[in-house]
């Protein structure tokens, strides 16, 4: 069975909204290596539509630019990209397709297919649903030393049931960012 991992940039107060406006001062080589290990190693990337649109607007140009992140951009371009949306979509970024049917049955089927790891980056609504359904194998939180106040949080107050997690690892980067990896809690 394929493993599904999700990576999120998150503020110390739980805000995950618009990381492009607050995350970059904390980015360094340690974080780059951790993100590459989680996201760049996947042969399939699952996206919500909004996150996909942001990635598709940025990463193809980065691949051709020859800059330092070109290898990551190529890995993302080469990966199978599956976008979750109820609206029919058209794609310009290679290897992109829309998830057919509902999210949870579609992801269960993906996990059963042959292939390597499946990764998510951002896509908060998708991450929430996979966590609640017990389909996420690892949750990589990059906890930044900043409190943002208002904004979308990973865990909102509307969750029906607690989601029990188990700490798999934790590392501190020189910038003060914590890379915390959780997995599903072992059942009692």
> Can you give the CATH number for the domain in which 12 is found?
3.40.430.10
Q: Average of pLDDT values for 164-186?
A: 96
Q: How many Å is the Cα radius of gyration of the chain?
A: 16
Q: For the residues 53-74, what does the mean pLDDT come to?
A: 90
Q: What is residue 188's predicted lDDT score, i.e. its pLDDT?
A: 43
| Mean per-residue pLDDT of the chain | 93
Contact 4, 111 (CB under 8 A): yes
Mean pLDDT over 106-130 rounds to 95
The reported pLDDT for the residue numbered 187 is: 63
Work out the percent of the chain whose per-residue pLDDT is above 70: 98
Q: Do the Cβ atoms of 111 and 1 come closer than 8 Å? A: yes
The domain of 20 spans 4-184
The number of folded domains in the chain is 1
Q: Residue 148: helix, strand or coil by DSSP?
A: coil
> 26-48: b or e for each residue (b if 16 or more CB lie within 10 Å)?
bbeeebeebbeebbbebebbbbb
Report pLDDT for 108. Answer: 97
């Amino acid at each position: 069975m394929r493993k599904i991992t999700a990576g999120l940039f998150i503020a110390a107060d739980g805000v995950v909204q618009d990381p492009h406006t607050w995350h970059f001062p904390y980015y360094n080589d340690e974080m780059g290596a951790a993100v590459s290990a989680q996201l760049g190693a996947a042969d399939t990337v699952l996206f919500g539509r909004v996150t996909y649109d942001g990635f598709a607007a940025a990463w193809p140009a980065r691949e051709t630019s020859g800059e330092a992140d070109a290898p990551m951009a190529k890995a993302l371009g080469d990966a199978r990209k599956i976008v979750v949306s109820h609206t029919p979509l058209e794609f310009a970024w290679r290897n992109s397709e829309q998830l057919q049917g509902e999210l949870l049955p579609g992801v269960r089927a993906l996990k059963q297919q042959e292939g390597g790891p499946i990764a998510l980056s951002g896509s908060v609504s998708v991450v929430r649903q996979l966590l609640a359904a017990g389909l996420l194998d690892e949750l990589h939180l990059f906890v930044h030393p900043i409190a943002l106040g208002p904004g979308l949080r990973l865990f909102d107050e509307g969750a029906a049931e607690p989601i029990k997690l188990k700490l798999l690892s934790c590392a501190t980067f020189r910038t003060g960012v914590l890379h915390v990896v959780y997995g599903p809690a072992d059942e009692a």
